[in-house]
Structure 1
Amino acid sequence: MNDQNSSSFTRRNLLSMIGATTSAAVLYQAMSSLGHAAESDFTDPIKLEGAPKGASVAVLGAGLAGMTAALELSKAGYKVTVLEYRERAGGRSWTLRGGDTYTELGGFTQTCNFDKGLYINPGPWRIPYHHRALLYYCGQLGVKLEAFVEHNVNAYLHHSNAFGGKPQRWRHIMSDYNGYVSELLAKATNADKLDEPVSKEDREILLESLRTWGALDKNYKYSAATASALRGSDKDPGGGPDGAPTPSTPISREDILHSRLWSYLNFPLTYEYGQTLFQPVGGMERIAEAFAAKVNHLITFNVKVTEIAQGNDGVTISYSNAKGDGPTQQLKADWCVCTIPLSVLSQIKANFSSSMQAAIEAVPYAPSTKVGLQFKRRFWEQDEAIYGGISFTDLPIGQISYPSTDYLSPGKGVLLGAYVFGVAGVEFTALAPEDRVKRALEHGSKLHPQMMKEFDNGIAVSWHRVPWTLGCFGMWKQDTRRDHYKNLCAIDGRVVLAGEHCSYVNAWQEGAILSSLSAIERLHKRAVGGN
């Protein structure tokens, strides 16, 4: 930075430089200190009262959106009937345990052979602390939660073309990257390269913060002399005459930058994935089970909706058994809350408005695969001291997540061995389930060589082959939201849609619940004579 450029250096320039050269956490920290970052508020769930006498609502789908609607509408006095394709409630809020079977499109049937108490969540698997609507219902329904460990500095970051393909501890990459960037910023600051708009006091505070943040020495240099405070020692402290630790040796600045592993560092520090996150004790399905305990008597299971026909006076839902080989039956209601995923709804005959139909057909669904792997022992804990958290890799498996429960338990354990999206998600979907498991093991062994030897059994769910969703979640783009989102969420005659696809928190259970609360509030207002 030359003197001419420094003369126009402002606070905005400083924030841009920090954001471009460090993790998102540094930028957020800097923005907070200048008063630019804030959190959004949450509105408590609505309380519906005074349903018109005898008014009825058909709810299509018994996922979290459908069961939220059924619970609140029935409390308000509506006659509610829920039609559900599956034999159980919950939709994508689903847990696979030992003894469960699952048949996907194409006819592949898998049986989960996990030991008792072990499980995998093929769909949602974590709850951010700011998903207040979902947490509210967990509290109301008595769902016991425990911490989900998102960020573990002892987990791995891996890139096939960096460090000879050897995974690196997250704490080493984080400490060294932050240290070198802090050193560079400290040099620029100490050399008086920051102009008067960043005051002398600001520069002094910035230097002090950089020394702390980056573990710099008194000369603002990142080296082994100070690095161990963040990255740990090469030899940990012990007892006896040989107990002295050996200072840690940082990875070189060039190797850190060229590895590009720094690109993962801001993931657990973003608002969406910041701690604390939660998970239900015993699997995500515990939430669906708690909802179902309240509304199960309203649900008709194992039925397939074949047509939605609405008129001026109500809605007629045609349906048959889930296999589609039984007689057609009809459900008549005054109103309908439809939570069927758009990927399925687009294939159901309906007399929606042209704008609603166009919106339904505009949103594709994400390809995604999750692979659960059971091992003979919890080698990630016993051999590598990894307790919860996620390792990231550029390999097609994307990430490996370690269980946030039953630490140090003897016997077997289950990992999320792959969470795959994008092109890799399509490729995994095209494989037979046993080949998805094999592929996950092959890739995972690049991070954990013990995998092949310790493997016991596995199960793989590719969401484009799941009959009741045909994809993982609705994939909104900026232009499709602009052109179709409001039409999708609008009350269309006697029908209103709900589900994660009808929210800005899509792909999350929170979005499903929030969209449902919005839909039934607006529907209730119309039912009692409002607009």
Structure 2
Amino acid sequence: MYQAMTALGVAAESPYTGPIRLDGDPRGASVLILGAGLAGLVAALELKRAGYRVQVLEYNDRAGGRCWTVRGGDRITELGGETQDCRFDEGHYINPGPWRIPYHHHAVLDYCKRLGVTLEPFVQVNHNALVHGRTAFGGRPQRYRTVMSDYQGGIAELLAKATRQNRLDGMVSREDAEILLESLRSWGALNRDLTYAKSVLTSDRRGFERDPGGGLTARPVPSDPVALKDVLSSRLWSYLATGAIYEFQTTMFQPVGGMDMIARAFAREVGDLIRYNAKVTAIRQDASGVTATVADARGGGQPEQVRADWCLCTIPLAVLAQMELNVSAKMQAAIEAVPYSASVKVGLQFKRRFWEQDEHIYGGISYTDLPIRMISYPSTGYGAAGKGVLLGAYAFGPYAYEFTALPAAERVRRAVEWGATLHPQYREEFESGVSVGWHRVPGNLGCHGMWTDARREEHYDALCALDGRILLAGEHASYIPAWQEGAILSSLDAIGRLHRRVVNA
């Protein structure tokens, strides 16, 4: 999925260069913002500062949308009414939606700075974490570093031999061939004879059988590399590219205390503009304004009408497509054209941080071909005594549907069962868990919009255009889908165009 997103051109540095300037007098114009996710919160903050009269209608009883953190005492209710009560201990949490911020997502980082949201490093790649395949190495998990070292070393040896045998003549000059050999020795940890074999040099990459020490037990014992053919047939090399993808390159960040610290910071600025538990059922526009029909999301009471001069709608398209809405045929077709990804996360609390205490894994992600797909270790609280919470599953596509077709307790049980394949301690140390399947979350009905090149060519411009008095914003109206940066940039672009229309009217 991430490779496909990169191919679609979304792996680019954010063009954000600083706070938006909305110069000019809006002359008391009013804007109705639908949704208090990050796109809606950014719009509310900037439009309020520019002098607009702003109202925000939010379906949930909290701000943030998918910028959400689940803690002990929280209740999760899915479509169909099934509820989960999170029983995590104080200080522990899971981020069901966004959970990391790339260093080149300048808008998110700038708003965190401006709003006083403290950040800390998020560890994406940990060379001491695990990679696992059900049919690889007898189903035994391997350290990320050993697979990477043996893969690179084996490839380097093959290429070095081909170079020495002049098989690259015509592709590199004699001078470049010598430089290539020098680089392969360095990159692949090759020995003097250009082989990748058991030695202190190779063990300094993949790890030692016995680490260097002190005194009479100081002498290290090198480890035995795995043959390249076995690494290739294991297919565990497929996990090595993730950390090289632009969105996941070091350094990454997370807010201290949970991702919703960003939403809470925005809410401190514009919370008085937000009406919570407001379920929008229809959006109608005419020549002079926009009217939204609103009901109490908790039930009871009569629907009412809320009106403004303009409307910025950040409601996810999977929900918006089911509403009564009078926009142009092109915008309506665009709204209906974008499917949403199914995704599930499972958070698991354990009695102790065994991944650190037993296996020396501090942050990072282990990968597997089991339905849980990955295990992410907390990037905070290192070495703390007591309990800890892991992201015990993060799955997309068919596995996400498989998980969320199950009762919540069964999803957690299976995450524990599959996770024990990588960490046998799961069985003794597990305490409680929660799961979030995004296509079963009311108000969202999916994780993120799934664009293709063909859909973008046909529908993207119509989706983002000012349609009468209605504009759309959100990650779905960006070239950075599934990321908070995309939601913020789409919002800034939309309100900038709206402001120019208002000022020039």
State the TM-score bracket (shorter-chain normalisation). over 0.9
Change in Cα spacing, 1:318 to 1:285, as seen in structure 2 (3 Å) is same
Q: How many residues align?
A: 495
CA–CA separation in structure 2 for the residues paired with 1:315 and 1:202: 67
**1:110 has 2:71 as partner:** no
1:243: which partner in 2? 218
Instruction: For 1:393, give the aligned amino acid.
Output: T
5 Å-filtered alignment, 1:61-460, equals 61-196=35-170, 198-225=172-199, 226-460=201-435
Structure 2: how far apart are the matches of 1:41 and 1:85? 31
Aligned-partner SS, 2:195: coil
How far apart are residue 39 of structure 1 and its match?
Answer: 5.6
How far did 1:126 drift? 0.3
For the 8 Å contact 2:412–2:433, the answer to whether it is kept is yes
2:468 pairs with 478, 490, 493, which one?
493
- Which amino acid is 1:356 matched to? M
- Report what 2:482 is aligned to: 507
Output the CA distance in 1 between the equivalents of 2:175 and 2:279.
68
SS at match of 1:65: helix
Q: Of residues 33, 48, 58 in structure 1, which corresponds to 2:22?
A: 48
Alignment gaps of 5+ in structure 1: 1-23, 25-36
From the superposition, tell whether residues 295 and 458 of structure 1 become closer, same or farther in structure 2 (CA, over 3 Å): same
**RMSD over aligned Cα atoms:** 1.4
User: Is the CA contact 2:449–2:476 (under 8 Å) kept in the aligned structure 1?
Assistant: yes
1:129 maps to amino acid: Y
Aligned AA (2:186):
T
AA of the residue aligned to 2:123: V
State the one-letter code of the partner of 2:304: Q
Give a deviation string over 1:215-272, Cα, whole Å, max 9, x none: 0011211001231121111111222312211111101111101000001111011111
Equivalent AA in structure 1 for residue 286 of structure 2: G
**Displacement of 1:358 after TM fit?**
0.7
Q: Indicate if the aligned counterparts of 1:45 and 1:517 stay in contact, CA closer than 8 A.
A: no
Q: CA deviation at 1:197?
A: 5.3
The answer to whether the 8 A contact 1:400-1:415 is kept is yes
Q: Indicate the percent of aligned positions where both proteins have the same amino acid.
A: 62
Structure 1 position 329, deviation (Å):
1.3
Q: Which position in structure 2 is the counterpart of 1:11? A: none
**Alpha-carbon distance in structure 1 between the residues aligned to 2:173 and 2:463:** 51
Distance 1:307 1:41, change over 3 A: closer
Q: Distance between the aligned counterparts of 1:265 and 1:51, measured in 2?
A: 53
Q: Distance in 2 between matches of 1:370 and 1:266?
A: 22
Match of 1:318, SS state, is: strand
Task: Tell me the CA shift for residue 210 of structure 1.
Answer: 0.8
**SS of 1:238's equivalent?**
coil
Distance in 2 between the 1:257 and 1:508 partners? 33
Q: Deviations over 1:284-331 (max 9, x none)?
A: 010000011000011111111111111111111111111343212111
Q: Residue 339 of structure 2 aligns to which amino acid in structure 1?
A: P
Residue number in structure 2 paired with 1:520: 495
3-state secondary structure, aligned to 2:27: coil
C-alpha contact (below 8 Å) 1:159/1:165 kept by paired residues: yes
Match of 2:325, as an amino acid?
A: A
Distance 1:511 1:201 in 2: 46
Unaligned runs of 5+ in 2: 4-10
Q: For 2:163 and 2:87, how far apart are their aligned partners in 1?
A: 59
Q: By how many angstroms is 1:40 displaced?
A: 6.5
In 1, the alpha carbon distance for the partners of 2:109 and 2:130 equals 30
Change (3 A) 1:451 1:185: same
Please give the secondary structure, in 1, of the residue aligned with 2:216: coil
Secondary structure, counterpart of 2:409 in structure 1? helix
Does the 8 A contact of 1:83 with 1:303 survive in 2? yes
Q: What CA distance in whole angstroms lies between the structure 1 residues aligned with 2:175 and 2:465?
A: 53
CA shift, 1:198, in A, is 2.6
1:196 Cα deviation after fit = 4.3
In structure 1, how many angstroms separate the alpha carbons of the residues matched to 2:12 and 2:183? 22
What SS is found at the alignment partner of 1:528?
A: helix
Q: Distance in 1 between matches of 2:331 and 2:120?
A: 40
Q: Which amino acid aligns with 2:360?
A: A
Question: What amino acid is the match of 1:176?
Answer: D
CA contact (8 A) 2:14 2:106 kept: no
**Partners of 1:304 and 1:324 within 8 A in 2:** no
Greater CA drift, 228-237 or 315-324: 315-324
Aligned equivalent of 1:478, options 453, 475, 494: 453
Which residue identity lines up with residue 121 of structure 1 in the other structure?
N
What is the alpha-carbon distance in structure 1 between the residues aligned to residue 17 and residue 398 of structure 2? 38
State the SS of the aligned residue for 2:362.
coil
278-287 vs 219-228, greater mean Cα deviation: 219-228
CA contact (8 A) 1:51 1:524 kept: no
